[in-house]
Chain A
């Protein structure tokens, strides 16, 4: 379980996250919605320890990310897929995927590679195992990014606007894979602007507004007239996103 309690994050004078509380149980798909700059990505970056908290506490399976040992254990339990893929450009797709399993999980090379190939096959990239990121399209790179995360066999998958840098066709490819993962019961924390997709795969939706988590509802309720839509800010946000 991922638990965020009264999480605060400050960049200089600006309070980016204000007393945010969030719980993600195993098996859930929790989508974080909100306008740009509302603190969605920062929240993900606090969970995976790329930002240090200014206040509050985050635990992943009980491991406090603000302690050194806790962060190591928390990072072992989760894996992140990034908006801009963040692949290692000097390594092939296969090596990108096997690096951490070999170095961190200490898997034998052959086993790590067999697993990586199986994952690449699953996302339709079996033929591109030896390609370098530069030789792949954005959508293919992001699929490698997803494989890299899955190769760690994480309990939690953190997805930080993973389709924002992709064109609509590539977005479709990536979302199809995520939908399969959700159907398999993968626990996900999903920061996105793809509202229809979020509605389709999420068990819960939370809404961040200027660093405050103002709504946390099961998906059906979030889109119900007497639920999330009763909140003027959310109604406004959703209608605006639909128009775009």
Chain B
């Protein structure tokens, strides 16, 4: 067996890479959605001074290349603040914030899609802010947001491939390693691409199921 041949162990390598990609994707998704939601709520309540800051930061994150953001965080922050940052930390921070920016926009429009009238009714009937947020706004905003969020997340899954550039051993990095060793780029990148494709399709499918379930349970025809 030559050094350049494919080996059964390569499958384990690929699975490891996929594991890193998925773990990073899931982690950054959860953090990003939480931050995005928090920003949308803060934005909704017009907490003084917060609105312009949120809008400027999220616009910057949405309208600049993720790779540039990644370099800024990985090389820029350590140089500027004199702290150490591992590739995984930098990747997690960057993708989380990037996801948060898109999630913020979706949650914000979800909240804004709700008629002010209902919120007035809830106020008059004595519900407090958190009850209105939890019982009136959240269910409707969620139903509104699921479709667009799934679209964004499918995209963010592909975006995670960029983190291989700063040395995270994700699926794309494994692809790089296999490619250099075997010198079979067509096979290696086709396989890597197929794995991303399957992961993205699975995600879209699950998201579609959630959306369908929501539609079914909320027969009000609002989405």
A interface, CB within 8 angstroms of B? 48-50, 72, 75-76, 79-80, 82, 84, 86-90, 99-100, 103-104, 132-135, 148, 152
Contacts and interface: CB of A to CB of B under 8 A. Distances in A.
Interface stretch (B42-50, B73-81, B131-139, B179-187): B131-139
Contact of B124 (A75, A88, A90, A99): A75
Interface string B79-123: 000000000000000000000000000000000000101101111
B143 to A, nearest CB: 7
Contacts of A103: 127, 131, 135
Contact of A75 (B125, B136, B140, B219): B125
Interface residues of B, number: 22
A126 B143 CA distance: 28
Contacts of B118: 86-89
Given A90-B140, A103-B135, A132 B124 contact: no
B136 A100 contact: no
Helix, strand, loop or mixed for chain B's interface?
A: helix
A133 B127 contact: no
B222 interface: yes
Contacts of B117: 82, 84, 86
Most buried by B among A49, A76, A104: A104
B110 to A, nearest CB: 12
A155 to B, nearest CB: 14
B218 A90 contact: yes
11 contacts: A72-B126, A75-B124, A75-B125, A82-B117, A88-B136, A99-B122, A100-B125, A103-B135, A134-B221, A148-B125, A152-B126
